Amino acid sequence: MSDRKRIVVLGSTGSIGTQTLDVARRHADKLEVVGLAVNARADELLAQARAFGVRHLAVGDERLSREPIADELAAHVESAKPEGTASSLAEAFAQRGEGTLGFGADAVVDLVRLPEADIVVNALVGAAGLRASYETLAAGKVLALANKESLVVGGDLIMPMAAEPGRLMPIDSEHGAIYQCLLGENPREVSRLWVTASGGPFRGRTRADLEGITPAAALAHPTWNMGAKISIDSSTLMNKGLEVIEAHHLFAMPYDRISVVVQPQSAIHSMVEFTDGSVKAHLGTTDMRIPIQFALSYPDRWDAPVAPLDFTKLGSLEFAPADTDTFRCLALARAAGERGGTLPCVMNAANEVAVAAFLAEEGSYLGIAACVEAVMDAHERAGVQRVESLEQLEALDAWARQEARKNVR
């Protein structure tokens, strides 16, 4: 019987997903990939499935079920079945189960219930990841979470399911850093969480400077290599606002004790300040494989997946306050978190629509914050609700997206 941890990767062709598979490749003696899910990159999914011998696959885009790639995926799942005599086949299937291939959002979520899976890496982009996170915890699996919206939108539902230590492992560099700084500490002795920000590509600019910003300019992050949506969020500092809400849920910390500080070198991934004035900082190379690996190896630490940080070449460390007047998304996200209830859900949906419009050159850069604020205001006028169910959040998400499309500017 293998003692390897068996993982399912949702969003396996994205930035976090591919780096997760890189960690799995490096530590093949400790990790086995048993399920992979993508939204639409089915060709890449097939290549990954062949490389890792994965027999449980899902594609979110149902339209691809009618394309030739569906037949290739099905052939892989079929060929990856155990071979042997009738009696040995029965035993093999009893141990391993048959391979599966599904299309659509439900098929992606179904992978989290695989009996052989121990850990689910949720690297889905956007609010679509919330149900997957919920069902992962409901199925008794460990949730390695890279999907910010799970906690931003549904933290009130998710966190009560993850009370047991180690059930929810944050993959974010910032939250992974805070998690590690808190190991062995008394939570009651924590006075402040410091969430670090690189400042993005427009650090130091004024609002006037941001008029006419193009998607290409906003995608050019100075220190991290990320997907398009998260890169835009990083440039507007919305990403940091989402992380503040996540930190509130993950570490049960009031918003007035969570601060954002700009650290342009991205060497300090976050800090924890204690009641006696001591501060723990987590430093490391700017490579997401480090927090990904820790989320998968916990409570152990494995050999580093990248070259360690060379302090003799690091030079100086700079710190500055975040400019919430210029980058209004950070202030809007914090306001949504402080108000709580269903407002973060609405804020997040509006941001997703506004960012997509900007990337499609249908909306402006400064229009992202304006759109988010307009939808938040509309929801507050209608009445913010207490979070009660996934269905409630999904309905409000749909309403907010429709409202946001009216406010793209």
- Please report, in range form, the residues annotated as the binding site for NADPH: 13-16, 147, 149, 227
Binding residues for Mn(2+): 172, 174, 243
Distance from C-alpha of 162 to C-alpha of 333, rounded to nearest angstrom: 24
Tokens of 349: 């949906």
Distance from C-alpha of 149 to C-alpha of 143, rounded to nearest angstrom: 14
Instruction: Give the residue from 387, 159, 140 showing the smallest Cα distance to 251.
Output: 159
| Beta bridge mates, 59 | 38, 103
Region label for 337, one of left (φ > 0), alpha (ψ between -120 and 50) or beta (otherwise):
alpha
Distance from C-alpha of 197 to C-alpha of 287, rounded to nearest angstrom: 15
Contact between 181 and 281 (Cβ < 8 Å): yes
Non-local CB neighbours of 263 within 8 Å, separated by 6+ positions: 196, 197, 198, 317, 318, 319
Tell me the torsion sign for CA atoms 361, 364, 368, 370: negative
Binding residues: 13-16, 147-149, 172-174, 198, 221, 227, 234, 239-240, 243
Distance from C-alpha of 362 to C-alpha of 196, rounded to nearest angstrom: 31
3-class DSSP state of 236: helix
Distance from C-alpha of 152 to C-alpha of 148, rounded to nearest angstrom: 6
Burial class from Cβ neighbours inside 10 Å (0-12, 13-18, 19+) for residue 392 reads middle
Place of tokens 């979070």: 387
Binding residues for 1-deoxy-D-xylulose 5-phosphate: 148, 173-174, 198, 221, 234, 239-240, 243
- Measured CA angle at 283 (ends 278, 288), to 5 deg: 140
